[in-house]
Amino acid sequence: MPVPAAKTCDSCGRTITWRKAWEADWENVRWCSAACRRRGFRDADRDLENRIVVAVGRQKRFPLSGMDGDREDVRRAARRLAAAGRLRWTQKGRPVDPSTARGDVEVTAV
């Protein structure tokens, strides 16, 4: 059986890679971890995504560290937007993978 394509976590936006344990239920996998399943997706998350889109629309490049709010919540929202193809993550002008990037990053509109 070929390995199915990777998915994106509905909560944190990180890449979910296929695991043998999920073989029978891969179509219903939405979360990368139990913590993400408990946290879920909130209205505040959608609001934060909208704030990021507006901020990026005003500038060509936008540092995520410039957003108000919890740093990890901001990064989660930006990862979800990148997975949806609405943002691109960069560090020092080079594209980076949102699932593995560490440190300060900038986002640009796609």
User: How much is the pLDDT for 1?
Assistant: 57
- Report the amino acid identity of residue 108: T
What contacts 24+ positions apart, CB below 8 Å, involve 84-88?
85/110, 86/53, 86/110, 87/52, 87/53, 87/56
User: How much is the pLDDT for 11?
Assistant: 95
Give the CA distances from residue 31 to residues 22, 48, 62, 80, 92, in Å, rounded to whole numbers and listed in that order.
12, 19, 28, 12, 30
pLDDT tens, residue by residue, 31-47:
999 999 999 999 999 99
User: How much is the pLDDT for 69?
Assistant: 82
Show the low-confidence residues of the chain (pLDDT under 70): 1-2
User: How much is the pLDDT for 66?
Assistant: 80
Query: Could you tell me which CATH number the domain at 43-109 has?
Result: 1.10.10.10
User: How much is the pLDDT for 75?
Assistant: 93
pTM of the predicted structure, to 2 decimals = 0.86
Show me where the domains of the chain are located: 7-39, 43-109
User: How much is the pLDDT for 22?
Assistant: 86
